[in-house]
Amino acid sequence: MQYIGIDLSGPSNTKDTVLVHFHKEKDKLYYKKHETPMSDYALITYIESLADKDSVTIGVDAPLSYEDGGGDRESDRSLRTFVTKLGMKGASIMPPTMMRMVYLSLRGIRFTREIERLSTKYEVHIVEVHPGAALGARMETIDDVLHYKQDLSIRKRIRRWFETQQLLDIPEVMAQESHTIDACAAALAAWHWQDPDFEPAWLYKAFLPLHPYDFCC
């Protein structure tokens, strides 16, 4: 099984899009490579090539649906309550149709629908994830989760912490940017969602037809 964590950015800002690829062996994920920047075409072709060799699970850090009529989805409200109880900022959970989110939502929806259209030898599983919440639900120090985007020393600690979660061989350079840390956390959340030996810290099930993907952390 191959695991992909994607920290997606808006369609005009592909330099901040990161894909991290892990390979599962027994009960561990081993870092294989990461790619950035990533256009839609680059993301799709990478996953298509991988899914012709093995099953792939993808955790995408971006809204993969929106609420009919706008505003919060039920899943957004549920996650906001969850992270607030952890000591995180509820304002970090924004509606997919909010002005600063809408282009990211557009790209996430388009990207996942294109993945669904692929004809690959092996299955591709997709889940929407929130990397910050994935970290906040698992790390002992919530202050690190609140400040890692601005603090390199915290990101270095988080990179080492991933080893305690059995995400191995992540290179030191991955701590240089918060986007790469988020992509690793997205892969961690996707693993705990897909693997029957684990369970996500928080899960909101898909609700067809408008919300076709599970959302987890």
Tens digits of per-residue pLDDT, 122-163?
999 999 999 999 999 999 999 999 999 999 999 999 999 999
Tens digits of per-residue pLDDT, 81-133?
999 999 999 998 999 999 989 999 999 999 999 999 999 999 999 999 999 99
The mean predicted confidence, pLDDT, of the chain is 97
Residue 27 tokens read as 């009960």
Q: What percent of the chain has pLDDT over 90?
A: 96
Instruction: Give mean pLDDT, residues 160-171.
Output: 98
Beta strands 167-168 and 18-25 are unpaired
Instruction: Give mean pLDDT, residues 168-178.
Output: 97
Q: What is the pLDDT of residue 44?
A: 98
Q: What is the pLDDT of residue 12?
A: 84
Instruction: State the Cα–Cα distance between residues 205 and 183, nearest whole angstrom.
Output: 22
CA-nearest of 201, 53, 180, 28 to 127 is 201
Answer yes or no: is pLDDT of 204 > 90: yes
- Cβ atoms of 10 and 179 within 8 Å: the answer is no
The CATH number of the structural domain formed by 2-204 is: 3.30.420
Answer yes or no: is pLDDT of 169 > 90: yes
Answer yes or no: is pLDDT of 13 > 90: no
